[in-house]
Amino acid sequence: MAENHRELSEVIARAGRVAVLMGGHSAERDISLKSGQSVVDALIRAGVDARPLVWDSDLLGAINEHDPDRVFIALHGRGGEDGTVQGLLQLLDLPYTGSGVLGCALSMDKARSKQVWLSMGLATPDFQIAKRGAVIGGAFDNPVLPVIVKPANEGSSLGVSLVSERAELESAIEHAFEFDDVILIEQWIRGGEYTMGIVDGKPLPIIKLETPHAFYDYEAKYVADTTRYLCPCGLIDSAIERCTELCLEAFDALGASGWGRVDFMMDDDARPWLIELNTVPGMTDHSLVPMGAAAAGIDFEELVVRILATSMDER
């Protein structure tokens, strides 16, 4: 423990001026603002010279005005989680938290992330890609229901629908297209929903998600008080070990680094199925990485400092 405190104190001493980048123009802007302010407050409590940097319009001008030594990225969704901001910061030679351009771009694109996982033999549910204006054919002309319909490049379950009846499919597809030009029609795995945070390349305890909703949707994530977060997750030790290994492999396969969160399902035969990787997970009072960290004995201030330390890694 003493060694860990010494390492954290070194991170704080080296941090300099930290801009916590939040806001942006994605559909997840409001969540980003909440995450970012939580991070700012925690960093200040930890002794870091941190200040909010809200992305409204002129991001480059705002960065120059703040003149930070490093950036803590608290952006969610397109623009901030897809490699765009990461590329800008690299061109500016500004250290930043989390994954680089490739890891963010691959992880944000759910279709390509699943294609990479499949190429490496990592289990992920069957799916079909549909593009706006194209005819949707193949196996999903008459899909084996239920399926989940989702935008390929969106987060926080925005635009996502669980379809159990054939008559519901067209409206679910139209809803997903409101958020993206490319969508996924993915086989729904009947079973439990789980998630595992990763910080500094190390796994946090797995959390099982239970909700009276059809699935862990936007309301269950950010609004409802009926969602249950089970940690310990209830899996036997061998299953936890297998799922942890799968999540770490999935993280590495997409070129992710620093920190993130892998979501997966466990079917009725106790087989895990990868769903997606978030490279900038939420940091609100409803967020999962802080819950997993707390279960591992890591308070919120320590967690944000550990994430800040990822900005000091060599890229």
The answer to whether residue 218 is catalytic is no
Q: Does pLDDT of 141 surpass 80?
A: no
CB 282 within 8 A of CB 35: yes
The answer to whether residue 278 is catalytic is yes
Report how far Cα 253 is from the mean position of its chain's Cα atoms. 15
Q: Does pLDDT of 139 surpass 80?
A: no
What digits encode the pLDDT tens for the residues 51-104? 999 999 899 999 999 999 999 999 998 899 999 999 999 999 999 999 999 999
The answer to whether residue 112 is catalytic is no
Q: Where are the beta strands (DSSP E) in 152-190?
A: 161-163, 182-187
Report how far Cα 46 is from the mean position of its chain's Cα atoms. 24
The answer to whether residue 219 is catalytic is no
What pLDDT is recorded for position 155?
Answer: 66
What digits encode the pLDDT tens for the residues 11-38? 999 999 999 999 998 888 999 999 999 9
**Candidates 23, 24, 26, 28; catalytic one:** 28
What pLDDT is recorded for position 167?
Answer: 84
| Domains observed in the chain | 2-97 (3.40.50.20), 107-123+190-295 (3.30.470.20), 127-187 (3.30.1490.20)
**Candidates 276, 292, 306, 311; catalytic one:** 276
**Candidates 109, 261, 292, 311; catalytic one:** 261
The helix or strand, by DSSP H or E, that contains position 98, with its residue range, turns out to be none
What digits encode the pLDDT tens for the residues 173-203? 888 898 888 899 999 998 999 999 999 989 9
**Candidates 83, 103, 282, 292; catalytic one:** 282
Question: 82 vs 12, 56, 93, 154, 256, CA distance in Å?
Answer: 28, 18, 18, 10, 12
**Candidates 113, 161, 257, 278; catalytic one:** 278
Label residue 4 exposed, middle or buried (CB < 10 Å: 0-12, 13-18, 19+).
exposed
The answer to whether residue 261 is catalytic is yes
Residue 14: Cβ within 10 Å count: 13
